[in-house]
Amino acid sequence: MTNEIDTYWNEEDTHLFKSTFPHFHGNGTPVPIQVRAKIHTSEEKYSNWAAESEIIAIGTPKGTRTYIMIHPYVEIPNIVLTIGIPPNGYADTNAIGTVQDAKVNGINQIQIGNTQAWYYPADQTIVLWECYFHSPYRSSTPLPENTNMIELWKNTEKYLHTKFPRAEKITTPFKDPMFTTEEYQAFLHLLGYEPVEKAAYGKLL
């Protein structure tokens, strides 16, 4: 249960989108759930080696960039059950007890994915390094047809562009080890990305 203040996060309740996930359901049927995000941003210095290690050429060899970490999460009730135990315990019966009471005791925040990005203000470039759902919350639907992944990316891009309105382009690696390269690149094409360098896709904002 998480209602405590964590000073690491600059923003703790940013709304991304609302959708259904097989993992979250009521009476066996998936129900719409709000995907929120905790967001950390920090300024950091970078030098020639850091610029050269990026997936695209950074024209300004050293300076200050902004690091962004986004943890998508959902909130679910923390339900506490009171179980009635048989009078003689479990030794002489197959009964496992009965639910006598159920109470909601606060809210659990369940992290369902991860995003990391950097913004280079001198080059007006966002590098979206990763953006995905953790395996229990990923659908088996092919990426170009995966509504939740499409919404996660679109709303992450929207957040980053709102946060950094001077950004002119966004880039991302051309593959992700969690998916086949063909499927991943079809997904990027769907979102408007095109090859911009050997290991990167990108688009103008």
pLDDT in tens, 74-102: 998 776 555 666 665 555 555 566 655 55
Per-residue model confidence (pLDDT) at position 150? 97
Evaluate if residue 1 carries a pLDDT over 60: no
95 is a domain residue: no
> Which residue(s) pair with 200 in the sheet?
173, 197
User: 41 lies in which domain range?
Assistant: 11-75+108-204
What's this model's pTM, rounded to 2 decimal places? Answer: 0.84
Q: How many domains does the chain have?
A: 1
**194 confidence band (pLDDT: 50, 70, 90):** very high
Q: How large a percentage of the chain has pLDDT more than 70?
A: 83
18 is a domain residue: yes
pLDDT in tens, 155-164: 999 999 999 9
Per-residue model confidence (pLDDT) at position 30? 79
118 is a domain residue: yes
Distance of CA 154 to the CA centre of its chain: 12
Cα distances (Å, whole numbers) of residue 39 to 12, 19, 42, 67, 160? 6, 20, 10, 10, 11
Q: Which residue has the higher pLDDT, 165 or 100?
A: 165
Per-residue model confidence (pLDDT) at position 6? 73
Per-residue model confidence (pLDDT) at position 2? 46
4 is a domain residue: no
DSSP character string of 41-68 = EEEEEE-HHHHHTSSS--SSSSEEEEEE
94 is a domain residue: no
CATH, residue 165: 3.40.630.30
Evaluate if residue 125 carries a pLDDT over 50: yes
pLDDT in tens, 131-155: 999 998 988 899 999 999 999 999 9
Per-residue model confidence (pLDDT) at position 130? 97
43 is a domain residue: yes
Per-residue model confidence (pLDDT) at position 87? 60
Find tokens 């992944």 and name the residue.
Answer: 149
92 is a domain residue: no
pLDDT in tens, 6-56: 789 999 999 999 999 987 876 778 789 999 999 999 999 999 888 888 999
89 is a domain residue: no
Evaluate if residue 199 carries a pLDDT over 70: yes
